């Protein structure tokens, strides 16, 4: 009987996944780590630890550039964001990353401005990167994440 329970539990673990997650970013996001492994090879990977998210990116020449371009294009919404709201407290996980996001091929990437639901609720920039939805609450968060994506792009495209 224990074997059957273990088997069902094991199968459930193997087939479950998170469909999407939402993170709120406010204040300056620090780029703790940025690196590339197997540069120039078909299985190259960029790792970017930015704020609470560890991005692991396969096919970095395509994916990093796409994410950077969406972030850069979102600059049209800059004037609607407050300068700084301060940082959002992160849960104590024992790890620097709250979320690990594996990106391959062509993840969905989009950005739009979300107006506040009430007079007290400020507009924020909503950016989707694959299954991760980011709520960028202020200009400090936007600029620091844009800077990190630009650095990642320069890492994989040093000639530009």
Residue 119 structural domain = 17-156
Look at residue 47 and tell me if it is in a domain. Answer: yes
pLDDT in tens, 46-57: 999 998 899 999
Look at residue 50 and tell me if it is in a domain. Answer: yes
Look at residue 38 and tell me if it is in a domain. Answer: yes
Look at residue 128 and tell me if it is in a domain. Answer: yes
pLDDT in tens, 66-88: 999 999 999 999 988 988 876 65
Look at residue 28 and tell me if it is in a domain. Answer: yes
Q: Report the predicted TM-score, pTM, of the whole model to 2 decimal places.
A: 0.78
Look at residue 9 and tell me if it is in a domain. Answer: no
- Please, which pLDDT band fits residue 159 given cuts at 50, 70 and 90? low
Burial bucket for residue 154 (CB in 10 Å: 0-12, 13-18, 19+): middle
Give the number of domains in the chain.
1
Contact 48, 57 (CB under 8 A): yes
pLDDT in tens, 74-125: 999 998 898 887 665 544 544 556 778 888 777 889 999 988 666 666 789 9
Distance, in Å, from the CA atom of 149 to the CA atom of 2, rounded to the nearest integer, reads: 49
Residues 6 or more apart whose CB falls under 8 angstroms from that of 127 comprise 70, 71, 74, 109, 110, 111, 133, 134, 136
């Amino acid at each position: 009987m224990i074997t059957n329970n273990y088997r069902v539990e094991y199968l459930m673990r193997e087939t479950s996944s998170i469909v999407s997650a939402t993170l709120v970013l406010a204040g300056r996001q620090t780029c703790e780590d940025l690196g590339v492994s197997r540069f120039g090879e078909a299985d190259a990977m960029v790792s970017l630890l930015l704020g609470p998210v560890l991005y692991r990116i396969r096919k970095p020449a395509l994916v990093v550039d796409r994410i950077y371009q969406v972030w850069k294009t979102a600059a049209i919404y800059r004037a609607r964001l407050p300068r700084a709201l301060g940082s959002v407290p992160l849960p104590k996980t024992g790890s620097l990353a709250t979320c690990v996001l594996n990106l391959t091929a062509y993840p969905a990437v989009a950005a739009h401005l979300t107006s506040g639901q009430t007079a007290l609720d400020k507009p924020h920039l909503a950016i989707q990167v694959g299954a991760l939805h980011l709520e960028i609450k202020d200009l400090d968060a936007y600029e620091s994440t844009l800077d990190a994506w630009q650095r990642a792009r320069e890492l994989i495209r040093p000639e530009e």
